[in-house]
């Protein structure tokens, strides 16, 4: 379309095309697309089976590909248009340390933790083995209000970001974040206890194993009426790619569940939403042959609701949007599966545990210290 007139700023002499003219295919035609699963990812696919992904965060980029030549060409192209600094192989990104080792990629935030401990003068504090004491019951009325809530809010905000590579503090941070508006000295003490816990496990992180298969498995659980102030339940889930944790969450439910079955069912719905998003993301990355994902739950009633619409007494108070579980089960996207409470690894995201339980579940989730065998010249 040739635009002859402009409404506000006079005539426009340039040609403006609504569609590419015949014979012209532009830089990104059918090659560079935006991920449907995550809008900060740009994808490139060519006839030579080369996959290239660019992760964009403000002015920071990560370029990943199965072809080094494609990476070099992309860097050269970007450098010709923008002022850029090439930092080489990925080692550090937005506070996350990336170590390439013989067994895979190890993610941690050791430096971030060290900076946090220095900021609060706790580098030489006495470490503890749990982020929150198993007998602690925090409430909004416990303790004296802090004169300034900003210090507490700032600390908890930094702990929230830390949970990117530390699933072991996710539940505790979720509890602490409930008191952001009116924190007390007791809440601040609980937050600083997390720092003492981190002081004893600064190097801990998660391993994305290179031997893991492209198979998702999800675990979900809830702590019915676990919040003493609101009697709302806490949902928790963890999704593994092979044996590697790639997504987890601890979240207080938005409504009061009238039964443990309802609480577990809502937690399952939250988990399946995340599974669907991950499958879309993997599809964008070219992984299309993924089988149905088992969703492990330790509540038989919730599993029965997912497969049988006749459980009226247990389901009449559940929102309609939760019942999409049945649709996704029938479509073969997920497979709700029973797991005994003894083997439910998501307890670490829904409740306070003993030291033994806490450490045992972290091992099953792939949370560990850095691998000893590392590639020479890389780590």
Contact 136, 352 (CB under 8 A): yes
At 29 the pLDDT is: 44
Instruction: Give the helix ranges, DSSP H, for the chain.
Output: 68-81, 110-119, 150-162, 170-176, 185-199, 260-284, 300-307, 312-315, 324-330, 355-364
CB 278 within 8 A of CB 216: yes
Give the model's confidence band at 366: pLDDT under 50 very low, under 70 low, under 90 confident, else very high: confident
Q: How many CB atoms lie within 10 A of CB 189?
A: 11
pLDDT level of residue 268 (50, 70, 90 thresholds): very high
For residue 164, which of 100, 214, 103, 98 has the smallest C-alpha distance? 98
Interior CA angle at 115 toward 112 and 120, to 5°?
125
pLDDT > 80? residue 4 = no
Using CA atoms, how far apart are residues 272 and 237, in angstroms rounded to an integer? Answer: 10
For 196-209, the pLDDT digits (tens) are 999 999 999 999 98
Contacts of residue 1, Cβ cutoff 8 Å, sequence gap at least 6: 16, 17, 18
User: How far, in Å, CA of 258 to CA of 301, rounded?
Assistant: 13
Decide if pLDDT at 88 tops 50. Answer: yes
Domain ranges of the chain: 32-90, 108-199, 212-366
Distance CA 37, CA 30 (A): 18
Do 51 and 44 contact (CB within 8 A), yes or no? yes
* Residue 285, helix vs strand vs coil: coil
The most confident of 151-165, 215-229, 332-346, 356-370, by mean pLDDT = 151-165
- Report the candidate in 286, 220, 269 with the shortest Cα–Cα distance to residue 44: 286
Phi, then psi, of 63 in degrees rounded to 5: -115, 125
Pull the structure tokens for residue 302: 């919730």
Q: How many CB atoms are located within 10 Å of the residue 130 CB? A: 20
Classify domain 212-366 by CATH architecture: 2-Layer Sandwich (3.30)
User: What was the pLDDT predicted at 172?
Assistant: 96
367, 167 contact by CB (below 8 A): yes
What pTM value is reported for the model?
A: 0.83
Tell me the per-residue pLDDT of 49-79, one tens digit each, with 9 for 90 and over. 788 888 888 888 999 888 899 999 999 998 9
């Amino acid at each position: 379309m040739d635009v002859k007139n402009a409404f506000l700023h006079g005539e426009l002499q340039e040609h403006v095309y609504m569609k590419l003219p015949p014979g012209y295919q532009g830089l990104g035609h059918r090659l560079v697309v935006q991920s449907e699963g995550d809008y900060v990812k740009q994808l490139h696919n060519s006839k030579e089976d080369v996959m290239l992904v660019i992760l964009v965060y403000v002015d920071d980029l990560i370029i990943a590909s199965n072809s080094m030549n494609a990476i070099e060409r992309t860097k050269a192209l970007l450098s010709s248009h923008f002022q850029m600094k090439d930092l080489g192989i990925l080692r550090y990104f937005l506070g996350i340390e990336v170590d390439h080792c013989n067994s895979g990629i190890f993610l941690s935030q050791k430096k971030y933790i060290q900076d946090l401990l220095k900021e609060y003068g706790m580098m030489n504090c006495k470490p503890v083995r749990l982020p929150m004491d198993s007998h602690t019951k925090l409430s909004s009325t416990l303790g004296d209000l802090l004169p300034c809530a900003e210090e507490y809010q700032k600390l908890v905000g930094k702990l929230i970001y830390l949970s990117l590579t530390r699933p072991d503090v996710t539940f505790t941070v979720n509890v602490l974040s409930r008191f952001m508006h009116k924190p007390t000295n007791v809440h601040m003490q609980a937050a600083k206890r997390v720092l003492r816990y981190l002081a004893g496990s600064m190097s801990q992180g998660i391993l994305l194993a290179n031997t893991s298969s492209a198979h998702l498995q999800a675990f979900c659980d809830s702590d019915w009426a676990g919040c003493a102030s609101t009697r709302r339940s806490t949902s928790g889930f963890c999704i593994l790619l092979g044996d590697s944790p790639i997504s987890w969450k601890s979240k207080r439910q938005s409504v009061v569940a009238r039964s443990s079955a309802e609480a577990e069912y809502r937690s399952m719905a939250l988990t399946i939403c995340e599974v669907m998003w991950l499958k879309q993301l993997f599809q964008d990355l070219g992984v299309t042959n993924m089988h149905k994902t088992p969703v492990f739950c330790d509540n038989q009633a919730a599993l029965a609701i997912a497969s049988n619409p006749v459980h009226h007494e247990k389901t009449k108070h559940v929102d309609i949007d939760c019942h999409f579980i049945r649709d996704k089960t029938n479509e073969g996207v997920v497979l709700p599966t029973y797991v005994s409470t003894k083997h439910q690894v998501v307890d670490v995201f829904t409740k306070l545990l003993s030291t033994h339980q806490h450490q045992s579940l972290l091992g099953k989730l792939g949370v560990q210290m850095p691998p000893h065998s590392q590639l020479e010249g890389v780590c």
